[in-house]
Structure 1
Amino acid sequence: MSKAYVFPGQGAQFSGMGKDLYDNNADAKKLFDQANDILGFEITKIMFSGTDEELKETKVTQPAVFLHSVINALVHPDFNPDMVAGHSLGEFSALVANGTLSFEDGLKLVHKRALAMQKACEINPSTMAAVLGLDDQIVEKICAEIENEIVVPANYNCPGQLVISGSNKGIEIACEKMKEAGAKRALPLPVGGAFHSPLMEPAKEELAKAIEETSFSEPKCPVYQNFTAQGAIDVAEIKENLISQLTAPVKWTQSVQQMVNDGADIFIESGPGKVLQGLVKKINRESEVAQLS
């Protein structure tokens, strides 16, 4: 049976995440404590008992979701992936899980990515919106037709669920047009900015520099990357796709379809929440899903 392990992105966080692991597994505790040292602040405190507000800050959310996802996989006795993938931020978790990045380097990159994205959001106030019940092609067409504003498809989550990203004004116009075109819903999301759009260009430059300075190893199994929706094992290619990911759409629908085509029988989610299991089921009803616990 071919096992695909999948790792969630920003938005999966909740107060209390990872506490069970910390309390009941000595190896996990060691990694969480190491993470506090690397980050220079007690992220475990915010993860285990912080408010939703505190957890929602990009510089906290991204490392928090990464830590829960990765530590859960690394300390699990049955963790042995045939392929991995992660949604947006989750791609970094996937790369630690398949041995491409060390735990420490993965965390440092995620922390840098979070700070760079936060900074980019402050330079260009912007947002994202979820569009439900419209064909991808219609959403793409409407985005392309909006003049003088940046609006692009950002997350291909599953058929009939596409998140768009862009300037505040652009997203406002797009939401109206999506509703006129028959979308069930088109609603702005409570996010810090336009992730996976050209507005993240300043963050991309910063992240590219950090990625170039980090050592990557030969992976144990392919990672299906957001940028291409294809499995990659070549280190140079993985780096390039990881850099491109910040300003390009997350091709989650296409990635899952490709993994199914390549023989994935079961998709096992590691990390907070069950969002990806739900998306996998909507993309391919036949696929088996499970939580790594």
Structure 2
Amino acid sequence: MKHAYVFPGQGAQFSGMGKKLYEENANAKNLFEQANDILGFRITDIMFEGTDDALKQTNVTQPAVFLHSVIAFKTLENTAPDMVAGHSLGEFSALVANNTLSFEDALKLVSIRAQAMQKACEIHPSTMAAVLALADEKVEEICAEVQNKTGEVVVAANYNCPGQLVISGSLKGIEVACEAMKAAGAKRALVLPVGGAFHSPLMEPAKAELAAAIESTVFHAPSAPVYQNVIAAAISHPNEIKKNLIAQLTGAVKWTQSVQSMIADGGTNFTECGPGKVLQGLILKINKEVTVGGVN
């Protein structure tokens, strides 16, 4: 019986996020203020009082979700995870929870990642779409067919849970793929309100900038293994963690497979730290036998 701590990614944000933590916990307040200093702007003002549109900006969303998640985790007492994982951006939060990265270094990397991804989005107008109730293999097959026929980029990006796979690519590629998914029997193929094709080759322009920042940052030996998105397996070596974190920018988030690996390795209790309850729902769709809970 092992206790896993998991951390959400972009999309979990909401106006007012983290405000209760700030107001009720002195340590949390200190960390939020430290983050304001590191980032060079008062992200807490946007988190606590900002509009949904302001929070949707990638350079705000990513550090905001990271901060809420990590600070929620740090308010817990006597916490020693047996294993950790994060969904996309959440992997950085997980690496603070298992002591691979310091709070300060992780926040700086998240900020660099967010800005680099924002620039990549501006270079290539692109988006993502959720495909529901279609087998993963069929989704992958259609993505490959659309790419071959149109020359547009379309790939499977987020394996969220059985029957829910997010695809990523160019605007035209996603449009064609969505029609093909519905024709193949998908319950829905819904374009998402995101500003870019995350976890696809279209994020390649951001990769060099993030890689340079990661390579120059100290990664410590973790206190618990991290189940990384791109390989869905437990990793404990700092150099491997770095490599997989860089690959994640253009590679798929294998969340279904990661949770299955954690359960196979003894994970029975999953606690989601951060805004929302999305991961708790996904985990139960992957395996109804485990226990889930949340801290926010």
TM-score (norm 1): 0.99
Deviation at 1:106, TM superposition (A): 0.3
Q: Please say if 1:162 is aligned against 2:128.
A: no
Show structure 1 runs of 4+ deviating over 6 A: none
- Residue of structure 1 aligned with 2:231, choices 228, 232, 238: 228
2:252 alignment partner, one of 249, 252, 272: 249
The separation in 2 between residues aligned to 1:51 and 1:121, in whole angstroms, is: 21
Q: Secondary structure at the match of 1:139?
A: helix
1:270 to 268, 273, 285: 273
Cα offset, 1:46, TM superposition? 0.5
Distance 1:80 1:280 in 2: 21
Q: Which residue of 1 aligns with 2:181?
A: 178
Identity among equivalent positions (%) equals: 72
1:72 counterpart letter in structure 2 = A
Q: Distance in 2 between matches of 1:254 and 1:136?
A: 12
The one-letter code sitting in structure 2 at the alignment partner of 1:264 is G
Structure 1 segment 110-259 matched on structure 2, within 5 A: 110-146=110-146, 147=149, 148-259=151-262
For structure 1, the 5+ residue unaligned runs are none
Looking at structure 1, the residues matched to 225 and 74 of structure 2 have their Cα atoms a distance apart, in angstroms, of 17
Q: 1:79, CA displacement in angstroms?
A: 2.2
Distance in 2, Cα, partners of 1:79 & 1:167: 42
2:74 counterpart residue number: 74
Q: For residues 78 and 14 of structure 1, what CA distance do their matches in structure 2 show? A: 28
1:145 CA displacement:
0.5
**Structure 2 residue aligned with 1:283, among 279, 282, 286?**
286
Unaligned runs of 5+ in 2: none
Q: Distance in 2 between matches of 1:152 and 1:18?
A: 34
Q: Tell me, in whole angstroms, the C-alpha distance in 1 between the residues paired with 2:260 and 2:212.
A: 32
Whole-angstrom distance in 2 between the partners of 1:248 and 1:61: 20
SS at structure 2 position matched to 1:155: strand
Q: Could you say what the CA RMSD is over the residues aligned between the two structures, in angstroms?
A: 0.7
Distance in 1 between residues matched to 2:217 and 2:205, nearest whole Å: 19
- Tell whether 2:55 aligns with 1:52: no
One-letter amino acid of the counterpart of residue 152, structure 2: E
**Alignment pair present for 1:91 and 2:94:** no
**Alpha-carbon distance between aligned partners in 1 of 2:190 and 2:293, rounded to the nearest angstrom:** 29
Q: In the alignment, what sits opposite 2:63?
A: 63
- Secondary structure at the aligned position of 1:214 is classed as coil
Counterpart check, 1:41 vs 2:9 = no
Cα shift at 1:194: 0.2
Partner of 2:106: 106
SS in 2 for 1:162: strand
Provide the secondary structure at the position in 2 that maps to 1:149: coil
Cα distance between partner residues in 2 of 1:70 and 1:97: 7
Distance 1:29 1:55 in 2: 20
TM-superposed CA distance for 1:75, in Å, is 2.3
User: How far 1:80 sits from its partner (Å)?
Assistant: 1.7
Tell me which moved more, 51-60 or 78-87.
Answer: 78-87
TM-score for both structures, normalised by structure 2? 0.98
Give CA-to-partner distance per residue, 1:186-224, whole Å, 9 cap, x none.
010000100000000010111000001111111000000
The aligned counterpart of 1:17 is: 17
Following superposition, the deviation at residue 259 of structure 1 comes to 0.1
SS of 1:9's partner is: coil
Give aligned pairs, total: 293
Amino acid paired to 1:74: K
Which residue of 2 is the match for residue 2 of structure 1? 2
Report SS of the residue matched to 2:267.
coil
Aligned residue type for 2:143: C
